[in-house]
Structure 1
Amino acid sequence: MDFSLDAETEALRQRLRAFITDTVLPLEADPENCNEYEHVKLAVRDRIRKDARAIGIWTPQVSEDWGGMGLPMVAQAALYEEANRSLFGPVMINAAAPDDGNLRLLDTVARPDQKEKWLKPIVAGEVSSSFVMTEPHPGGGSDPGMMLTRAERHGDTWKVFGRKWFISGADIADHFILIARTDPDETNTRKHLTAFLYHRDQPGWRVVRRIENMGPDEHGGVCELEFDGLEIPDENRLMEIGDGLKVTQIRLGPARLTHCMRWLGLAKRCMEIAQDYASYRESFGVRLADRESVQLKLGEVAHDIAIGRLLVMHAAWKLDQGDRARKEISMAKIAVADTLHKAADVAIQINGGRGYSTDTPLEWIYRYARCARLVDGASEVHRMVLARAYAEEGDDFWQWG
């Protein structure tokens, strides 16, 4: 693949960079712009989103027919990285989790009538969405074969019973994509799940709690949900009965990669802050930037970010070729999650007490970075994926084609 960006993508990237620099980054300096969960207030978000639309960068992942930009994954990689130079950048262009993955999924697999009802309002920024899959023990987490939440069919209606938790965005979402078990006796765990669409206003379910955590929280937090007879019409089933696992694979693969794209932007922001401080801060008559120990730290993180970018772009390119890029995404996920945490840690160390304080966003990024090794599959799970791929492929694991 050619790692240079075409002229159109580069122009978009430069336009987005200017927007983030001039419009979004200044928001971080005023605590009044943030809600109690350390994210940008929805009213501020909605105001700035109008500016994003005005510059023509809005919903990059959705096809043009449904109101998006229809960009390939390689172009999205460049833009998502640029957007997340700011803590608030991705949400301003409708490219933040969990909406990002839900938009992509609905655009890919929903029927036209379902897109009209469930996709278009998210594209328009009128509603938020949530993907409802993970369950508390002994239910399904990284292993969906363990899923216990069940959907029982009664004619043209399904009734849902069960419990979910760590459901991103659920506290403010209006549109939900739910994965539930539809054949409790099915021994083939690849066909025992089905996906459904439901609205916040439907009875038979509730948000039990918004789970407190290290934060900062995405809009809507991570929540525990209870289902006690939620009724979903069969017309709101997504894909076919038994296709629930396929739905999760279609959604989660690219979503893991777009996480990595955004995390690279945050890692680069850490480097910017560290490099800037090291350039003027002196101790014992020597600038930090002139100390070999500091240079080694910055050089190592720069090296790791470059590796992460190559892994992300390779996986994005393979997705654009129609490949599932399963092992490539796992490699990127492991490497970039580690790199983000290292970048934040090194930047805090170089900034000293300033980095540990809230005078910079480094402590925000550091806390956020810790979840990177957990979300969308823990790093250990992705290493298992790679080990299995190597066991099956042998030397072909590294094939050039």
Structure 2
Amino acid sequence: MTFQMERRGISDRALDIADRVERFVRDQVVPLEPQARNSAHGPSEALSDRLKDMARAEGLMTPHILDDGDHLSQRETAAVLIRSGLSPLGPLALHVCAPDEGNMFLLGKVASPELKDRFLSRMTRGEIRSAFFMTEPAQEGGAGSDPSMMQTTCAPDGNHWVINGRKTFITGAEGAGMGIIMAKAEEGACMFLVDLPDPAIRIDRVLDTIDSSMPGGHAEITIDNLRLPADQMLGEAGEGFKYAQVRLAPARLSHCMRWLGACIRAQEIAVDYVNRRHAFGKPLIDHEGVGFMLAENAMDLKQAELMVYWCADALDSGSQGSVESSMAKVAVSEALMRVADRCVQCMGGQGVTGDSVVEQVFREVRAFRIYDGPTEVHKWSLAKKIKRGWKDANPA
């Protein structure tokens, strides 16, 4: 049995894009996977540039963003991004990986025409990567899962703003061409766009993390008296958290889409392995301990896919999506962790070597359970909403 990806309710145009993406990833990107394991901090810029050139040649750069600048629906985007994730290099090649995909979505929704022309157009063409500067060092009491703890400050100075602070886990900052910085002013949180590199933004170190799929890795940053023109602020002062919400729910869901694709591929590899490998007189698949794990994977993968499309439909219907995306983030990340773990287990020693991409998928999905909000934070948030709903239904 092979995994049949959802096609219902998706336009022929989107399905054509999705099918082209799948062929491109399987035929052209997958053979380059061994080259991506040379750095603990993600694929090299040279490999990234090569992959993007390949995608351009196929007319697949940012394939979910149409020629007129409009986006596919979230349901249609799911069909495309799931297939992009069939290789950890796929989202990079197609320029739909984090944080770029979320940043492009945000700028497309809220940036002024001038900022779109200056920043967004270069991103959609894949000419530059981007970074999103929000998380701060925990040891310094900064913002992590609780953005209200933000300590990075911004203050007006004539027709400029001056920003100071520290950031951490800033994905892709090294090598990025632009960034979105969150800081707090007297009015509340603010967002700014900045060209990178900038001498006022110093990369102190690139962290050694369990994952290795994103170019530039995850950096610790010091922002020292960064001066930006007032017209590089997104919207108005104090609206930063509102704009973060615009970005947050779709970005969480995009993570689910991409890593679902990766685990579908891991399942394919594991299934092929256990059908070819023999032990104790028969193929591994015929041992219940192995076969049952793959059966459980098939169920987890399908349930994760259904959760992705359920959340996508909610966003397409106009919901802000905070509840739905929290549910999807928890359900999908936990299901995919089980899938990746079982794939490793089924493959035994082969599953923990770099000879197969399954080992990398396991590492990446383990990090995914934390990135964009740990499972426990989302459960806590959902529990608060459940309590509030009960109180609303049972007033004192």
Matched, 1:380 2:376: yes
Tell me which residue corresponds to 1:232: 228
In 1, Cα distance between equivalents of 2:80 and 2:253: 13
With CA pairs under 8 Å and 6+ residues apart, which has the higher RCO, 1 or 2?
A: 2
Q: In 1, distance between residues paired with 2:337 and 2:256?
A: 12
Distance 1:133 1:10 in 2: 35
Preserved CA contact (<8 Å) 2:203 2:221: yes
Show CA shifts across 1:276-327 (max 9, x none). Answer: 0111111110111112222211111111111111111011111112211211
1:134 and 2:135 equivalent? Answer: yes
TM-score normalised by L of structure 2: 0.92
Matching residue of 2:386:
390
Amino acid at match of 2:21: L
* Residues 1:198 and 2:203 are matched in the alignment: no
1:88 maps to 89
Matched residues in 2 for 1:295 and 1:76: separation? 32
| Deviation, structure 1 residue 172 | 1.1
User: Match for residue 120 of structure 2?
Assistant: 119
Give the structure 1 partner of residue 299 of structure 2.
Answer: 303
Distance (whole Å) between structure 2 residues aligned to residue 38 and residue 222 of structure 1: 8
Which residue is equivalent to 1:244? 240
Aligned residue in 1 for 2:26: 21
Give 1:369 shift. 1.5
Q: Secondary structure of the residue that 2:68 maps to in structure 1?
A: helix
Name stretches of at least 5 consecutive residues in structure 2 with no aligned partner.
1-5
Partner Cα separation in structure 2 for residue 270 and residue 128 of structure 1? 27
Q: CA RMSD in A?
A: 2.1
Q: Are the equivalent residues in 1 in contact too, given 2:252–2:325 (CA < 8 A)?
A: yes
CA distance in 2 between partners of 1:168 and 1:178 (Å): 13
Counterpart selection for 1:287 from 261, 283, 286: 283
SS at the partner of 1:196?
strand
| Structure 1 residue 19 displacement after superposition | 1.1
Instruction: Work out the CA distance in 1 between the residues paired with 2:313 and 2:67.
Output: 20
1:11 equivalent among 10, 16, 26 = 16
**Residue in 1 that maps onto 2:167:** 164
Q: 1:13 to 1:62 in 2, by over 3 A?
A: closer
Question: Aligned runs of 1:304-383 on 2, under 5 Å?
Answer: 304-383=300-379
Aligned position for 1:186: none
Contact 2:123 2:129 (C-alpha < 8 Å) held by counterparts? yes
Deviation sequence 1:335-377 (CA, Å, 0-9, x none):
1111222122111111111111111112111111211111011
- Secondary structure at 2:137 match in 1: coil
Matched, 1:175 2:171: no
The separation in 1 between residues aligned to 2:332 and 2:80, in whole angstroms, is 17
Cα distance change on mapping 1:383 and 1:359 into 2, 3 Å: same
How far apart are residue 174 of structure 1 and its match? 1.7
1:12 deviates by: 2.0
Maintained 8 Å contact 1:62/1:104 = no
Q: Which of the residues 153, 157, 162 maps onto 1:154?
A: 157
State how 1:23-102 maps to structure 2 within 5 Å: 23-28=28-33, 30-31=34-35, 34-37=37-40, 39-62=42-65, 64-66=67-69, 70-102=71-103
Contact kept in structure 1, 2:178 and 2:197, CA below 8 Å? no
Comparing 97-106 and 46-55, the one that deviates more: 46-55
Q: Tell me the distance in 1 between the aligned counterparts of 2:223 and 2:103.
A: 21
Q: Determine what percentage of the aligned residue pairs are the same residue.
A: 37
> How many Å apart are 1:35 and its aligned residue?
4.1
CA distance in 2, matches of 1:201, 1:85: 32
Structure 1: gaps of 5 or more residues: 184-190
Taking a change above 3 Å as real, the CA distance of residues 395 and 95 of structure 1, as seen in their structure-2 partners, is farther
User: Structure 1 residues 42 and 142 mapped into 2: Cα distance closer, same or farther (>3 Å)?
Assistant: same
Aligned with 2:246: secondary structure? helix
Counterpart secondary structure, 2:181: strand
Instruction: Kindly provide the amino acid, as one letter, of the partner of residue 386 in structure 2.
Output: Y
The offset of 1:93, in angstroms, is 1.0
1:72 deviates by 1.0
Assess if the C-alpha contact under 8 Å between 1:162 and 1:228 holds in 2. yes
